[in-house]
Amino acid sequence: MNNIKEQFTIKDLENLSGVKAHTIRIWEKRYGLLAPQRTDTNIRYYDIASLQKLLNVSLLNSNGYKISKIANIPEDKISATVRELISKKGVNHHAINSFKLAMLNFDQKLFDHTYNQLLAQKSFREIFLNLFVDFLEEIGLLWQTSSITPAHEHFITNLIKQKIQLHLEKLQLQTPDKTNNVFVLFLPINEIHELGLLYAHLELMLHGYHSIYLGQSVPLSNLKALQQLHSKIVFVSYFTVYPLVEELNDYLSEVKQDVLRPEDEFWVLGKRLNEKEVEIQTYPQLKSFDKLTDFIKQL
C-alpha cells in the first residue's frame, strides 16, 4: 500500500481530470464540492476520494449537468447518478476515469472489472482505438507533468499489453491467407513504448497477413537475417521517443542504405516524423502514418 499515491496537489487534479485549477477553486468556494486537507506544514492537498469525486463531477458537468445541480446531489448519490448516466449514454469518459484510478492505486481488479464491462458492449478493436489510444496519450502527458510516476505507467501499460497478447494467442493458430507481403515489426534502439506496434501486429494478423513481431530496441543490423528468408518485406516501426529528433534523418538514411532492398518498404507509425522536417521524397520506400487508424486503412 505504500506505493499508492494518497496526496494530490490541485495541479495534479487539473492534470488528471482536465478541469482547470481556477475552476476547481471556484467549485470549492462557491459550491463546497471539494474540501482540501492540509499537511503539518499547512500545505493544501487532496485525497483519492476527492479525486474520485472530481472525476465524477467532471463527467456529469460535461454531459449537461449544471454545477449548481450537482452540488445539491447528496455525496452518496453522486456515484449512482454517474452509473445511471453511463447506462443511458455509455460514456467512454467514465471508463477512462476508472482506468486512471486503477493506475493510481495499482488496482488490477478495478482495471479488469472496467475492461470486462466494456468488452460486454464493444469489440476489442473499439476499446483499443476509441479508449486505450486516448488514455495512453493522457498517460504520457501525466508522466511529463509528474502527476504519475513511471511505475504507474508500467503497471497500466502491462495490463493493456496482456489484453493484446490474449487476442494474439488465438490469431497465431491461424494460417495467413495473404502471402504477397511479409511484415516485420520492430522498434529502434532504446525505444520501449511498444503497445502501438503490438496492436499494429494484431491488426495485420486480423487482416490475414504474415506478420513477424521483433519488439523493442532492435539493431538495424539484425534485420538482415529476415531478408535471407523472405524475398519482399514491409518493415514496420513506431517512433515514440526514439530516434531523437536530431537523429531522425540519419536513422532513415541508414535504413535506406543498409537495410532496404529495392523491393522492400519501410512503414513508420507515430507523429515523430512531424517533429522535424523529413523530406519524404528522399525516401521513396518510406510511408508515414500519424495514427493507427491511418495504418489500418492501408491494409
Assess if residue 106 is contained within a domain: yes
| Strand pairing report for 209-215 and 233-238 | unpaired
What confidence score (pLDDT) does residue 1 get?
A: 35
Which domain CATH number covers 208?
A: 3.40.50.280
Residues 152 and 239 in one domain: no
Q: Give the contacts of 70 (CB within 8 A, at least 6 positions apart).
A: 31, 33, 57, 60, 61, 78
Burial of 279 (C-beta count, 10 Å sphere; 0-12/13-18/19+): exposed
**Do both 46 and 84 map to the same domain?**
yes
Do 139 and 240 lie in one domain? The reply is: no
Is residue 1 in a domain? no
Say yes or no: 131 and 182 in one domain: no
- Which of 100, 132, 167 is a domain's end point? 167
> Can you give the pLDDT of all 299 residues of the chain as single tens digits?
345 567 888 988 888 888 899 999 999 999 888 888 888 888 888 888 888 888 888 888 887 889 998 988 888 788 778 777 765 555 567 788 888 888 888 889 989 989 998 898 889 999 999 889 888 877 776 665 667 778 888 899 999 999 999 999 988 888 888 878 899 999 999 888 899 999 999 999 999 999 999 999 999 999 999 999 998 999 999 998 888 888 888 899 999 999 999 999 999 998 877 766 677 778 889 999 988 999 999 98
289, 298 Cβ separation under 8 angstroms = yes
64, part of any domain: yes
Residues 140 and 231 in one domain: no
Angle at 121 between CA 59 and CA 111, to 5 degrees: 60
User: Is residue 291 in a domain?
Assistant: yes
Task: At 103, list the grid cell.
Answer: 493506475
- 163 and 263 share a domain? no
Of 132, 167, 202, which residue sits at a domain end? 167
Instruction: Say yes or no: 191 and 161 in one domain.
Output: no
pLDDT of residue 221: 92
111 and 149 within one domain: yes
Asked which of 139, 167, 195 is the last residue of a domain, the reply is: 167
Counting Cα atoms < 13 Å in the Cβ hemisphere of 299 gives: 22
HSE value, Cβ hemisphere, 13 Å, CA-based, for 61:
17
Model pLDDT, residue 135: 85
Is 3 part of a structural domain of the chain? no
CA distances in angstroms from 117 to 53, 95, 110, 286, listed in the order given:
21, 9, 11, 40
**CA max distance for the chain:** 70
Query: What's the pTM?
Result: 0.76
pLDDT for 143 equals 64
Domain CATH for 62: 1.10.1660.10
Range of the domain at 101: 10-167
Are residues 196 and 144 both part of a single domain? Answer: no
Would you state the pLDDT for residue 2? 40
What is d(CA 42, CA 137) in angstroms, rounded to the nearest whole number?
Answer: 34
Whether residue 281 sits in one domain with residue 257: yes
**Is residue 39 located within the same domain as residue 160?**
yes
3-state helix, strand and coil shares in percent for the chain, rounded to the nearest 5: 55, 10, 30
The Cα 291–Cα 280 span in angstroms is: 17
Nearest alpha carbon to residue 199 among 289, 108, 273? 289
| Tens digit of each residue's pLDDT (9 = 90 or more) over 93-128 | 778 888 888 888 888 998 998 999 889 888 999 999
| 130 located within any domain | yes
Residues 57-76, buried b or exposed e (16+ Cβ, 10 A)? bbbbbeeebebeebeebeee
Total domains in the chain come to 2
Same domain, 126 and 60: yes
